[in-house]
Each structure stands twice: as structure tokens, then as C-alpha cells.
């Protein structure tokens, strides 16, 4: 019944008050656990019970006082149970769940209302357990255990810290500092090599080290451990006074050692160039240390941001401000601006801003890397470290570079002097970062992920106008643009996705502030060559004959890739220019579809250009422009259809990406439909002034294009193809969109198509993933509403919905299903019930008549009566529908499990 709910919070009704608030009950559970804790299985169950009790909330508590008493009692019991014992492996996860539930469920004011001493003991215990679980988790990693119980427990506790400290106004300032230092130190220690740390040490202190093959599918640490790192970063901020200088000195020490080690390798190579293998153990240890230090620093100094303006964390800002009186700004700038020199060699280095010094420590790592590259030691460097560096710089630049003073109450003087607007510091650092990007793209073109992170840093530098303004003042930027337009090495060695993003960055840079003449010149360098080269190729008289020649094909491919990149650069303020530029190409691309009809990879790329343009631009396009795009897409679909009907594909490898074209077409149609949901256009507002007074006569609508496309796609889809997850998801997304947006068009579909659409929905509800099932349920609701509106009781759609009623009825009442689906299923159910009231009553009757147990019969009959009580007769009225959904929830809680328990 409740598939997805492992950790349900305990929220009983008032009637449980006497039982659950009786302290003897709680004590009983603790006693039981103490008695059976050595039995692995039973211990887990008893801890599960305690975790439930730790999540107690709701009407069972008459007032806050009783909640405080309960919590105090519980914590006492917990501390008595775990203090002074050696925790068993099998207890770790359970105990951390208890703590995590306590911290999540009980409000801060309750937590702080328990006796001070008890609360302190609780937090001390939490800190102690966190460090201890962290160490055990590290051991598990060394031993490469399959079941990482301590890692799971550690994750939970770190997350609890994050919850606990985030809402800090209930605690006096600095309350958690000592604990934060403790947890932070232990995290760092577990991740550094000996002698500073214990990484890769087994319990008896023996170092273990193996070089394993790591596949590209292995997640990067920064993603795999992002939750841990976020918690540790947060704790680092709370204890900034300790943690920032600690990270700085650890990093500075590693930089010096890395530099020395690389120099020794170089001398060794010079002395005996042929001397085979060098032991890289020392280097690898340094790289791994630096790797973790950079990750922690990245998470400490800045937040992950998606869509929102990244802000400097207040703790970091306060820390810098607090010390700014003791800081010498000039020395700080000198430390920042001389990454080639040892920090400690700069006079007065101890009177510098600590945050800037931490940044400069990473710039020093970056500088050692750059110098090693210049000394031809690239083969000794770690691409992973290279990745970490640009990842950090991107994260840092997003938050700190050209800090916007308007966003803060108070700003640190060192920050605003070093990287504020109109400062030498920011211009210097932009130049430095750009140089790093260019060097990386040349040197690391063979390291896909590193090149990708690098080009993302470049995008960060230009995606905000203020930063772009500085970037375009660098000569390097112009060189990069020219080099890319020439398609010469090393940039054309980059993988296509990196080249795309590079194009995106170059286009974004073009919207920086420049005088008209410069701007003209810029576009002449960046976009014009693209157009010129493309037109030169396709306008050759013998293009048809030479189109398969490799240079020609490469030229075409590169252009199409670039077009995707240009589309990706779309922002609201440049869409007018970019749309017009791309539209010229789109029409030519359709011609290419014909020419390259036998070259699937090129056809796919052409469709992809359309997918990208629709994806990025349709939401900004007004009526006239949208129509241009619809028309182009329609023509594309027509050509595609002409070339694909009756085509038999040779089946060497029936693999998903053989159907890439189909997937892309469906994506295109979905993107075109998305305008119905997200539309920022103000009838060509952004185009005003570009093409005044264009008459709008709607010749093609989104519906036309999409239905044409569906006519095309449906016959090509088969049940076999739905076995491919990406095709399946895209397909159902598309048909759901269509049912939601154009339900009135569905009954008008040709009979075959209508049938296969209905069959698809049935299939989706009965035998696909729960996501697909949810989509189908969402599609059924508007279809049933459409039927109700049309009032035709003999239409095929009407008959089809009757069948859906039975399906949804069975799903809700008889089958196990994901609880997340109840809302979608409920809405569909209600609409269907409205439409087919008689059939619904029949279903209920049939179900009841099969019940032999009179108790169950009565319970079910009552539940069904209650279910429809608030909505009799059922009508498509919002208020009634909501009432029904609420009753359905109660219905499910009451009898939902009754019939599906076997």
C-alpha cells in the first residue's frame, strides 16, 4: 500500500494520548532495546519503534508543555541507552534515524525548552556520534564494503546538523561553534592522507592503496557527496574563525609540496628521460588531499544555486567584516595577485583577509598546474584536480566576482576592494580566469569532463552582463572567438557538447556593453563566418554531389552544432536577434534534410537544432514569430515523413539511439506544446521595433503542427519501442500534453490513431512505471471532462472513458500503488465517476457482493457511502471535486489496505 514510505512520521489521533504520553510506555521500548540489542534483526525492529516514537507529533499533544516533557523524557532515555555502550554496526542507522526524527519533527522552541544541561548533553552526544560514525564510514570505504551502514548513518547525522543549525535564532550566537569545529575537523581528518589525516588507513593503521579502474559512470565526489559537503560547508561557516584559516594552511602546505614534487619529477626526467615508471604515490596523495580541500572550500564559501541569485553566505561576510580593521588591503591584494609566489614569502602575509587568502590558495594550486603544463608535465597532472579547480572557480565567480553591493546590508571592504565593480582586482581576476579557460581548452581537450567544467566557467563569466563587460575587454577573448570561428586546432578537438557550450558563451559575450562599431566587429568575427561558410558550402552548384564528402559533412555538422549552441544562449533580451539569425538557417536546414536523408546522424542533428530553438525560444515568441517557427517545424515534419514512410531499418543493433530521430521529433512536439504552459511573450514585445506592423493572419497553429506530428509519430511507435525508457517517457509526456491542451481534438483523430492512443493510455496505466502511470492519469482527466462537455454518450471517447473508470477504480481500491499517485488518480477517478455514475454504482455493488465477511462488507459499504456523501450527485464543480479528494484520502486511510492485502 505505502510503497514509498519507509519513514512515516507518527501522527496519531487524540485517542492515543493516554497511551503514548505515558512515560512507562516509552521506557518499555528503551528497556526492550537494551535487552535485545545484540540480536541484529530484533535490534533493528526495536530501533524502528523508537524512531517512530521520536517522530511523534500532532493532536496527541494537548499543549507545548506536554511536548517538552515528552521530548525531555525521550532524550533522557536515549542518552541512557547509548552513553557508555559500544554501538553495534546494526544499530548505527537506527540510532541516527531516531536523532534525525527528533530534530526534524520537534520545533526549535520545544527543543530549547528542555533543561539546558540535558540539551547540551544531547548536542554533545550528537557531535560525538557524528565524528565516530564518520570514522567508521571511512573504514567501510577502505574495506570497500557493500553495505555501508555507517555511511548511511553519517549522512543522516550530518543532515540533522544542517537542520539544527540553519534555524539559529533560537540559540545564542556561538552555541554550536565548538561542535562544528569538532565535526569539521573530523571530516577533514578522514579525508586527508597521513600524517595529517587517516585516509585509506585500516583500523590498525595500515595504509591501503589500490588503483582501480573507474568508469565514466562513477559519479564525481562533488555530486556523490553533495549532501555531506553541504553540511560540512555549513558547519565550516559557523566555525569560520577556525575553519577558514585551517583550510588555507592545509592548502598552502599542499601547494608547496606539490610544486616541490613536480620539480623533482622534472629533474628526474631531465636527468634520465628514459627512466620508465615513476612512483606516483606521493603525487596521488597530494592530488587527493587537494581534491577534498577544494571541495570543502567550495561548499564553505558558496552555496549551490539554481535559478536564484547566489549570495555570499552571511557568516563568511561577517567573518571578513569582523576582521577588516586588522587587515592590510594592499597586502591582501598582493597575495591575491601573485599566485606564482608562496603566500608566506609576501611581507605582512598574516595581516590579510582570510577569505581572500583562502581563494588565493586555490589560485596557487591553479598556478602550479599551469606551470606544470608549460613545463610539459601535463602527463603527471591530475585531470580530477583540474576539474576541481575550475569547478571551484566557477562557484566562486558566480557568488563573489563583481559582488553586487545592493544585495547586502553590509559589505566587507576587502571584498569590495578586491572584486567589486570597477576595480583593478576584478579586471585582473577576469583576465586570469579567462587565461585558465583558454589554456585548459587547449591542453585538456581529451578530458571531456574537465573541458566541460572549464567551458561552464566561461559561461559563468559571460552570462551576467557586468562580468561580460570585463571579459570582452580582454584581448584573449577576441582571440578565442576568432580561433573558434576558424575551426582550427586545438578548439576543434573538443567534443561536440563542449564546442556547443563554447559557442553559447561566445554568443552571450556578444551582448556585453560595447560601442556600436565594436559590436559590429564582434558579430563579424563570431556569427558572420558561420553563416558565410555555411552558405558557401550549400550554395555550391555541385553540392548534391559533394555533400557526402568528409570535409563538407564536417562543415555542415560543425555549423549545426554551433546553431544548437547559439539557441542555448537565448535570454529574454537577445531572443529577437538570435531568433532572426536562426530562422534563416532553419529554412536552409530543411533543404539539408532532403540532401542528407540517408545520413541519420546528420538528420538527427538537424532535428536537434529545431528542438533547441523551440526549447529555448518558443516561450518568448509572439504570435507572428511563433507562427514562423510552427511553419518551419511543419515543413520539417513533412520532409521527415516523406523520407521515412515505409523505410525499413537494418537491424544490426536494436538499440535505443537507433530511434534517436523519433525521440527528437517527440521532443520537438513537446517543446512546441510547452508554449501553452509557459509563455513570456507579450505579442512580439521583444521584437517591437525590429519588424513593425506585421500583419498576423494565423495560418498555422501549434495544434496543427503537433497533431500532424502525432499522426506521424504514432504509427512509428510500437510496444517494443516503449521498452526503451527514454522513448517511453517522452512518448507519454507528449500524449499527456496533447490530451491536456487539445482534448477537443482527440475525438476527431482518425480511427486507427484514436485507438492506438487509447491503447497507449491503457498500457501506460497498467504496465509502465509509476511516472508514466501518473502521466496517463493526468491525461484521462481532461478527456473525461471533454466528454462531459460534449454530452455525446455514444462517442468512442465516451466508451473509452468508461473502460478507464474500471481501471482507475481497480487501481485505487484493489491494487498496490504509489501513494504519490493518489491525487492524480483521485482527480481522474472523480471526473470519470461524474461521467459514468451508473457504472460506478455497479462497480461498487459488484465489489460489495463478493465480500463474504459481514464486518468487512459493512466497513466497505460505509466507506463508499462516506466517499460520495459530500458530492451527490457528482458534478464537475471544483468545490465538490476538492471535497471528494479529501474524502478519498480518508477512504484510502480507512479501507485502502483492506482489499489489497492478500
Instruction: List residues near another protein by CB under 8 A.
Output: 211-217, 283-284, 287-288, 291, 379, 382-385, 445-448, 492-496, 548-550, 598-601, 642, 646-653, 655, 657, 660
Q: How far is the CB of 601 from another protein (least distance, A)?
A: 5
Cβ neighbours for 614, distance < 8 A, ≥ 6 positions apart: 629, 633, 668, 671, 672
Q: How far is the CB of 284 from another protein (least distance, A)?
A: 5
Closest to another protein by CB, 284 or 740: 284
Q: How far is the CB of 212 from another protein (least distance, A)?
A: 7
Q: How far is the CB of 447 from another protein (least distance, A)?
A: 5
Q: How far is the CB of 377 from another protein (least distance, A)?
A: 13
Pull the grid cell for residue 21: 504520553
Distance CA 282, CA 247 (A): 20
Q: How far is the CB of 638 from another protein (least distance, A)?
A: 13
Q: How far is the CB of 507 from another protein (least distance, A)?
A: 22
Q: How far is the CB of 826 from another protein (least distance, A)?
A: 43
Closest to another protein by CB, 69 or 220: 220
Q: How far is the CB of 280 from another protein (least distance, A)?
A: 8
Closest to another protein by CB, 48 or 599: 599
Closest to another protein by CB, 45 or 284: 284
Closest CA to 714 of 744, 687, 738: 738
Distance CA 156, CA 99 (A): 9
Closest to another protein by CB, 345 or 598: 598
Closest to another protein by CB, 276 or 689: 276
Are residues 579 and 567 in contact, defined by beta-carbon separation less than 8 angstroms? Answer: no
CA atoms within 13 A on the CB side of 529: 15
Torsion angle of alpha carbons 308, 312, 318, 320, nearest 10°?
-170
Are residues 572 and 680 in contact, defined by beta-carbon separation less than 8 angstroms? Answer: yes
Closest to another protein by CB, 246 or 283: 283
Render 745-794 in DSSP notation, one character per residue. Answer: GGGGS-HHHHHHHHHHHHHHHHHS-HHHHHHHHHHHHHHHHHHHHHT-TT
Q: How far is the CB of 553 from another protein (least distance, A)?
A: 9
Closest to another protein by CB, 212 or 720: 212
**Range 11-16, long-range pairs (CB < 8 A, 24+ positions):** 11/56, 11/57, 11/58, 11/60, 12/56, 12/58, 12/60, 13/58, 13/59, 13/60, 14/59, 14/60, 16/60
Peptide bond into 873 cis (omega under 30): yes
Q: How far is the CB of 140 from another protein (least distance, A)?
A: 18
Closest to another protein by CB, 451 or 772: 451
Closest to another protein by CB, 650 or 855: 650
3-state secondary structure of 332: helix
Q: How far is the CB of 592 from another protein (least distance, A)?
A: 14
Closest to another protein by CB, 53 or 637: 637
Closest CA to 814 of 853, 770, 846, 792: 846
Closest CA to 484 of 468, 504, 467, 464: 504
Closest to another protein by CB, 250 or 494: 494
Are residues 247 and 324 in contact, defined by beta-carbon separation less than 8 angstroms? Answer: no
User: Taking CA 485 as the corner, what is the angle to CA 467 and CA 611, rounded to the nearest 5 degrees?
Assistant: 80
User: What are the residues facing 201 on neighbouring strands?
Assistant: 207
Closest to another protein by CB, 193 or 312: 193
User: What are the residues facing 207 on neighbouring strands?
Assistant: 201
Peptide bond into 846 cis (omega under 30): no
Q: Left, alpha or beta for 860 (phi > 0: left; psi -120 to 50: alpha)?
A: alpha
Are residues 234 and 162 in contact, defined by beta-carbon separation less than 8 angstroms? Answer: yes
Distance CA 143, CA 137 (A): 10
Q: How far is the CB of 494 from another protein (least distance, A)?
A: 7
Torsion angle of alpha carbons 526, 528, 531, 533, nearest 10°?
-90
Closest to another protein by CB, 9 or 716: 716
Other C-beta atoms lying within 10 Å of the C-beta of residue 166: 9
Closest to another protein by CB, 24 or 647: 647
3-state secondary structure of 201: strand
Measure Cα distances from 182 to 157, 355, 358, 760 in Å.
Answer: 14, 21, 21, 57
Render 349-381 in DSSP notation, one character per residue. Answer: GGGS-HHHHHHHHHHHHHHHHHHHHHTT-GGGS
Closest CA to 123 of 107, 133, 112, 137: 112
Q: How far is the CB of 725 from another protein (least distance, A)?
A: 17
Q: How far is the CB of 281 from another protein (least distance, A)?
A: 11
Closest to another protein by CB, 204 or 653: 653
Helices 660-674 and 623-644: angle between axes, nearest 10 degrees? 160
Q: How far is the CB of 286 from another protein (least distance, A)?
A: 9
Other C-beta atoms lying within 10 Å of the C-beta of residue 180: 24
Tell me, rounded to whole angstroms, the distance of Cα 387 from its chain centroid: 19
Closest to another protein by CB, 241 or 284: 284
Q: What are phi and psi of 201, to 5 degrees?
A: -95, 135
Are residues 82 and 43 in contact, defined by beta-carbon separation less than 8 angstroms? Answer: no
Q: How far is the CB of 599 from another protein (least distance, A)?
A: 6
Q: How far is the CB of 253 from another protein (least distance, A)?
A: 19
Closest to another protein by CB, 518 or 545: 545
Pull the grid cell for residue 741: 491542451
Amino acid at each position: 500500500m505505502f510503497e514509498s514510505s519507509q519513514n512515516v512520521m507518527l501522527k496519531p489521533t487524540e485517542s492515543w494520548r493516554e497511551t503514548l504520553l505515558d512515560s512507562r510506555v516509552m521506557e518499555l521500548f528503551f528497556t526492550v532495546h537494551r535487552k535485545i540489542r545484540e540480536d541484529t534483526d530484533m535490534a533493528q525492529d526495536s530501533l524502528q519503534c523508537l524512531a517512530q516514537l521520536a517522530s511523534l507529533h500532532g493532536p496527541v499533544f494537548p499543549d507545548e508543555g506536554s511536548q517538552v516533557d515528552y521530548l525531555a523524557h525521550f532524550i533522557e532515555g536515549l542518552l541512557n541507552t547509548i552513553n557508555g555502550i559500544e554501538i553495534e554496526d546494526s544499530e548505527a542507522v537506527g540510532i541516527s534515524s531516531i536523532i534525525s526524527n527528533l530534530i526534524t519533527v520537534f520545533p526549535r522552541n520545544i527543543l530549547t525548552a528542555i533543561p539546558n544541561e540535558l540539551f547540551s548533553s544531547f548536542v554533545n552526544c550528537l557531535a560525538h556520534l557524528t565524528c565516530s560514525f564518520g570514522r567508521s564510514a571511512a573504514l567501510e570505504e577502505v574495506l570497500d564494503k557493500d553495505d555501508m551502514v555507517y555511511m548511511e548513518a553519517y549522512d543522516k547525522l550530518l543532515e540533522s546538523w544542517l537542520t539544527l543549525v540553519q534555524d539559529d535564532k533560537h540559540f545564542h550566537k556561538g552555541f554550536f561553534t565548538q561542535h562544528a569545529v569538532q565535526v569539521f575537523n573530523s571530516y577533514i581528518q578522514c579525508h586527508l592522507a597521513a600524517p595529517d589525516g587517516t585516509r585509506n588507513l585500516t583500523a590498525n593503521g595500515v595504509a591501503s592503496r589500490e588503483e582501480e579502474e573507474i568508469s565514466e559512470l562513477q559519479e564525481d565526489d562533488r555530486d556523490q557527496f553533495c549532501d555531506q559537503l553541504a553540511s560540512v560547508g555549513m558547519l565550516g561557516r559557523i566555525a569560520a574563525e577556525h575553519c577558514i584559516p585551517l583550510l588555507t594552511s592545509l592548502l598552502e602546505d599542499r601547494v608547496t609540496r606539490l610544486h616541490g614534487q613536480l620539480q623533482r619529477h622534472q629533474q628526474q626526467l631531465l636527468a634520465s628521460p628514459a627512466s620508465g615508471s615513476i612512483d606516483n604515490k606521493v603525487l596521488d596523495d597530494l592530488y587527493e588531499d587537494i581534491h577534498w580541500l577544494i571541495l570543502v572550500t567550495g561548499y564553505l564559501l558558496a552555496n549551490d544555486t539554481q535559478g536564484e541569485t547566489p549570495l555570499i553566505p552571511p557568516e563568511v561576510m561577517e567573518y571578513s567584516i569582523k576582521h577588516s580593521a586588522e587587515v592590510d588591503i594592499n597586502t591582501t591584494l598582493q597575495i591575491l595577485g601573485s599566485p606564482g609566489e608562496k603566500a608566506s614569502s609576501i611581507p605582512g602575509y598574516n595581516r590579510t583577509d582570510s577569505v581572500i587568502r583562502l581563494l588565493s590558495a586555490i589560485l596557487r594550486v591553479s598556478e602550479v598546474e599551469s606551470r606544470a603544463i608549460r613545463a610539459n608535465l601535463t602527463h603527471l597532472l591530475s585531470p580530477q584536480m583540474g576539474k576541481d579547480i575550475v569547478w571551484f572557480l566557477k562557484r566562486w565567480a558566480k557568488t563573489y566576482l563583481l559582488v553586487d553591493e545592493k544585495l547586502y546590508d553590509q559589505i566587507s571592504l576587502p571584498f569590495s576592494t578586491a572584486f567589486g565593480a570597477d576595480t583593478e582586482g576584478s579586471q585582473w581576476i577576469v583576465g586570469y580566469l579567462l587565461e585558465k579557460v583558454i589554456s585548459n581548452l587547449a591542453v585538456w581537450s581529451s578530458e571531456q569532463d574537465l573541458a566541460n567544467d572549464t567551458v561552464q566557467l566561461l559561461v559563468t563569466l559571460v552570462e551576467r552582463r557586468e562580468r561580460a563587460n570585463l571579459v570582452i575587454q580582454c584581448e584573449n577573448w577576441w582571440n578565442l572567438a576568432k580561433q573558434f570561428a576558424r575551426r582550427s586546432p586545438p578548439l576543434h578537438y573538443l567534443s561536440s557538447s563542449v564546442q556547443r557550450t563554447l559557442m553559447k558563451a561566445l554568443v552571450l559575450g556578444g551582448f556585453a556593453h560595447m560601442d556600436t562599431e565594436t559590436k559590429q566587429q564582434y558579430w563579424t568575427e563570431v556569427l558572420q563566418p558561420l553563416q558565410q561558410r555555411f552558405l558557401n558550402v550549400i550554395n555550391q552548384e555541385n553540392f548534391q554531389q559533394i555533400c557526402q564528402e568528409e570535409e563538407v559533412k564536417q562543415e555542415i555538422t560543425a555549423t549545426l552544432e554551433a546553431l544548437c549552441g547559439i539557441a542555448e544562449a537565448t535570454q529574454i533580451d537577445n531572443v529577437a536577434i538570435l531568433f532572426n539569425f536562426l530562422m534563416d538557417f532553419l529554412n536552409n536546414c530543411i533543404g539539408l534534410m532532403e540532401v542528407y536523408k540517408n545520413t541519420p546522424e546528420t538528420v538527427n542533428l538537424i532535428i536537434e537544432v529545431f528542438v533547441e530553438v523551440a526549447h529555448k525560444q518558443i516561450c518568448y515568441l509572439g504570435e507572428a514569430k511563433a507562427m514562423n517557427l510552427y511553419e518551419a517545424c511543419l515543413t520539417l515534419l513533412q520532409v521527415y515523413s516523406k523520407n521515412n514512410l515505409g523505410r525499413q531499418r537494418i537491424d544490426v543493433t536494436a538499440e535505443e539511439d537507433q530511434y534517436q530521430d523519433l525521440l527528437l521529433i517527440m521532443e520537438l512536439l513537446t517543446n512546441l506544446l510547452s508554449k501553452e504552459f509557459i509563455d513570456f511573450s507579450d505579442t512580439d514585445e521583444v521584437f517591437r521595433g525590429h519588424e513593425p506592423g506585421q500583419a498576423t493572419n494565423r495560418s498555422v497553429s501549434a495544434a496543427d503542427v503537433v497533431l500532424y506530428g502525432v499522426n506521424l509519430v504514432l504509427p512509428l511507435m510500437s510496444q517494443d519501442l516503449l521498452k526503451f525508457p527514454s522513448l517511453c517517457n517522452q512518448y507519454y509526456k507528449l500524449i499527456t500534453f496533447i490530451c491536456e491542451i487539445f482534448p477537443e481534438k482527440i475525438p476527431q483523430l482518425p480511427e486507427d490513431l484514436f485507438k492506438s492512443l487509447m491503447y497507449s493510455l491503457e498500457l501506460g496505466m497498467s504496465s509502465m512505471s509509476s511516472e508514466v502511470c501518473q502521466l496517463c492519469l493526468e491525461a484521462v482527466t481532461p478527456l473525461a471532462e471533454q466528454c462531459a462537455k460534449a454530452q455525446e454518450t455514444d462517442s468512442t471517447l465516451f466508451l473509452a472513458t468508461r473502460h478507464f473508470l474500471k481501471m482507475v477504480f481497480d487501481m485505487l481500491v484493489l491494487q498496490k500503488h504509489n501513494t504519490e499517485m493518489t491525487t492524480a488518480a483521485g482527480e481522474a477517478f472523480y471526473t470519470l465517476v461524474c461521467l459514468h455514475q451508473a457504472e460506478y454504482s455497479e462497480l461498487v455493488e459488484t465489489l460489495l457482493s463478493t465480500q463474504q465477511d459481514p464486518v468487512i462488507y459493512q466497513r466497505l459499504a460505509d466507506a463508499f457511502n462516506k466517499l460520495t456523501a459530500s458530492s451527490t450527485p457528482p458534478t464537475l464543480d471544483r468545490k465538490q471535486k476538492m471535497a471528494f479528494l479529501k474524502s478519498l484520502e480518508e477512504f484510502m486511510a480507512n479501507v485502502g489496505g483492506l482489499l489489497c492485502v492478500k
